[in-house]
Amino acid sequence: MRPHRSFVLTLAAALLAALPIAAQSDKELAESDRVSELERKVDLLTDELARTRQDMGVPEDKPLESVHGMGPGASKIYGITKGLSIGGYAEGGYTAVVHDKHESGENNSADFTRAVLYTGYKFTDRILFNTEIEFEHGSTEENGSVSVEFATLDFLIRDEVNTRAGLVLLPVGFLNEIHEPPFYYGTHRPDVEEVILPTTWREVGAGLFGRIADQIEYKLYAVASLDASAFEASGIREGRQQGSESLAEDLAVTARVDWEPIPELMIGASAFVGETGQDQTIDGVAFPDAQLTLWDVHTELNTHGLRVRGLFAMNHLRDAGSLTLARLASDDEFEGAIAENTLGGYGEIGYEILQWIAPQSGWTAEPFVRAEYIDTQYDMPSGFDADKSLQYQVYTVGVSVKPIPNVVLKFDYRNKDARVGELGDEINLGLGVVF
């Protein structure tokens, strides 16, 4: 009996000792299961966030690039698979008139020029809608405004041929499509691309665009034409209808071709052809057809920190004499005469110097110089004299500094010299961002 009793007591003691160990093992197993479940949920959340990031167009850590000739910020929609894309840009500055201030009648000014929001939605890998909403001059009061700069529905068929319809940016010059501040020199855009090429210029239309053999990029649109009843002696700029209840009795064709024989060099041309009279009769005065032919040639070299641009543009307006008479008869405030031919051009060169001075800083600094010539009274209709004050030159020297590629700080000096009269020279300070 005693040996048996001793065995039972020993067995009981062993079982009692094993119970905490078993309980501990079960607890550790449960804890391990919970950790595994948490890890699984974290993985699911990570995948879901990645999909949401892609669908919502949340910015990635990669440089912005132009696609289909659009601004880099406006091109983000093309880089996502599906869903919403958001981007934008903003710019503002200060201008001090430092020479011929009193003679020119110009004043110092500070202006938050514009804040822009890009929104786009990619329905499928081939169908997308893209827009630019612009707030100008810090307010909708006084000279401020809110405008749709473009709103286009794209059907992406293949690299060589795609279609676009809506409120399109006309494909002329350097800056009408790519006008985000980090991507051009100077606080102010070149006068040639505001006066001779009336940018920013948009209109309701439709057409084709594409890229051939990875070297030739083209666009071809049919759009509502300009309105000649708003042309001035200073140019055609006020004739832009901007897609706001545009008269469309007269349509126009606009086209652009850019050739890149090597990645660093681009050579191109653009054109706009259409009648602009819009079959109007104002105060009993019938407006002529006034066909406008506008064209430009342009080239850009961008290599090893060196950027060189050149552009020449010219407008030919048929019936300029008849149009001038119609403007004088229908508008008491109209002065001067509308030219048959206007022209302008500019060349600029800039170089990134911090690649040699402080290559590890991450900053860039590009000193530049630009020379422009503008003449909106180059060739006058018979019986009308040219206004020599509208023939002038602009010389700009400055620097663009970027702490990061998406942010630019600008400083420049502009010397203006009119053939007749005085234009004030300017010191300009500016800033710009794109995202």
- How confident is the model over 151-172, as pLDDT tens digits? 999 999 999 999 999 999 999 9
Residue at token pair 């500016």: 430
pLDDT of residue 8: 47
Residue at token pair 């706009």: 272
Work out the number of other CB atoms within 10 angstroms of the CB of residue 141: 8
Decide if 227 contacts 239 (C-beta within 8 A).
Answer: yes
User: If you count them, how many residues does the chain have?
Assistant: 435
pLDDT of residue 140: 84
Q: What is the DSSP letter of 245?
A: S
Is 324 inside any structural domain?
yes
pLDDT of 48 strictly over 70: no
Decide if 365 contacts 338 (C-beta within 8 A).
Answer: no
Mean pLDDT over 244-267 rounds to: 98
The pair of structure tokens assigned to 59 is 């910015």
Instruction: Count the domains in the chain.
Output: 1
pLDDT of 214 strictly over 70: yes
pLDDT of 46 strictly over 90: no
Q: 22 pLDDT band (50/70/90 cuts)?
A: very low
The pair of structure tokens assigned to 107 is 């004043």
- Bridge partners of 218, per DSSP, are 210, 257
Is 336 inside any structural domain?
yes
Mean pLDDT over 297-305 rounds to: 98
Query: What amino acid is encoded at 298 in this protein?
Result: H
Decide if 194 contacts 172 (C-beta within 8 A).
Answer: no
Is 23 inside any structural domain?
no
Helix then strand count (H, E) for the chain reads 5, 18
pLDDT of residue 151: 98
pLDDT of residue 43: 72
Is 116 inside any structural domain?
yes
Decide if 354 contacts 208 (C-beta within 8 A).
Answer: no
The pair of structure tokens assigned to 180 is 């985000």
Is 4 inside any structural domain?
no
User: Which helix H or strand E contains 96, and what residues bound it?
Assistant: strand 83-99
Domain that residue 417 falls in = 85-434
SS3 at position 352: coil
H helix runs in 149-301, sequence order? 192-195
Residue 231 CA: distances (Å) to CA of 136, 356, 375, 394: 23, 49, 15, 23
SS3 at position 73: coil
Q: 19 pLDDT band (50/70/90 cuts)?
A: very low
Is 41 inside any structural domain?
no
pTM assigned to the model? 0.85
- How confident is the model over 126-151, as pLDDT tens digits? 999 999 999 999 888 778 899 999 99
Mean pLDDT of the residues in the chain:
91
Is 14 inside any structural domain?
no
User: Which helix H or strand E contains 6, and what residues bound it?
Assistant: helix 2-56
Least confident range of 19-33, 100-114, 251-265, 267-281: 19-33
Decide if 93 contacts 113 (C-beta within 8 A).
Answer: yes
pLDDT of residue 15: 44
**For position 134, which CATH number holds?**
2.40.160.10
The closest of 171, 181, 316 to 258, measured between CA atoms, is 171
The closest of 326, 319, 269, 277 to 294, measured between CA atoms, is 269
pLDDT of residue 363: 98
Cis peptide bond prior to 200, omega within 30° of 0: yes
Q: How many CA atoms lie within 13 A of 140 on its CB side?
A: 3
The pair of structure tokens assigned to 403 is 């702490």
Is 48 inside any structural domain?
no
pLDDT of 6 strictly over 60: no
Q: How far apart are CA 274 and CA 428, in angstroms?
A: 37
The closest of 413, 416, 410, 409 to 393, measured between CA atoms, is 416
Sort 267 into a burial class: Cβ within 10 Å, 0-12 / 13-18 / 19+: middle
Work out the number of other CB atoms within 10 angstroms of the CB of residue 379: 15
Higher pLDDT, 83 or 105: 83
Q: How far apart are CA 200 and CA 180, in angstroms?
A: 11
Mean pLDDT over 188-206 rounds to: 97
Percent of the chain with pLDDT over 90: 82
H helix runs in 175-228, sequence order? 192-195
Q: How far apart are CA 419 and CA 345, in angstroms?
A: 16
Work out the number of other CB atoms within 10 angstroms of the CB of residue 367: 17
